[in-house]
Amino acid sequence: MEIDIPQMMDFLRQESVRRKLQHPKAKRIIAFHRAFLDSIKTTGRLYEVGLVVGYKMRTGTLIQDVLTAPGMITRGKLSIFPEMIKGRKQMKSIFKKSIKREDGQ
C-alpha cells in the first residue's frame, strides 16, 4: 500500500503530543527530543551542554549528575561553548516552516 511507516509514526507521535495524549512514561523521551531539536535550531548542530541543560530543565532534574560535568569538561569530552555553523538564520527558517506544516498552515 506504499505507506511510509516512519513518517506515519512521526505524525502520530507529534499529534499525541499536540493533543497531550502521550503516555506519562514518555515525558522524558519527549523532553530529550525537544532539547535535542532546540540545540540544532539554535546552533545548527548538536551542542551537548545545551542539550543536557535543556533536558534537565524540562525534567526538573537540574542537580542530578552536576558533579560529572567538570570532569568531562577538563578531559575535553564537553565543550563549554557551542560550535556555531554559518547559515543559522536559514536553519531557523527550516524549523519555522516545519512548525507551520505541523499546524496545517
- The answer to whether position 81 is within a domain reads yes
* Grid cell locating 78: 564537553
Q: How far is CA 16 from the centre of its chain?
A: 17
Query: Does some domain include residue 101?
Result: no
Q: What is the pLDDT along the chain (105 residues), one digit of tens a residue?
A: 788 898 898 888 888 888 988 888 888 888 998 899 888 888 888 898 889 999 999 999 888 888 888 888 889 888 888 888 888 888 888 888 877 655 554
- Looking at the domain assignment, is residue 68 inside a domain? yes
Q: How many domains does one find in the chain?
A: 1
Distant-in-sequence, close-in-space partners of 32: CB < 8 Å, separation ≥ 6: 55
Domain boundaries, position 91:
13-95
> Cell numbers at residue 17, please?
503530543
pTM: 0.66
Domain assignment of residue 41, yes or no: yes
Residue 102 lies in a domain: no
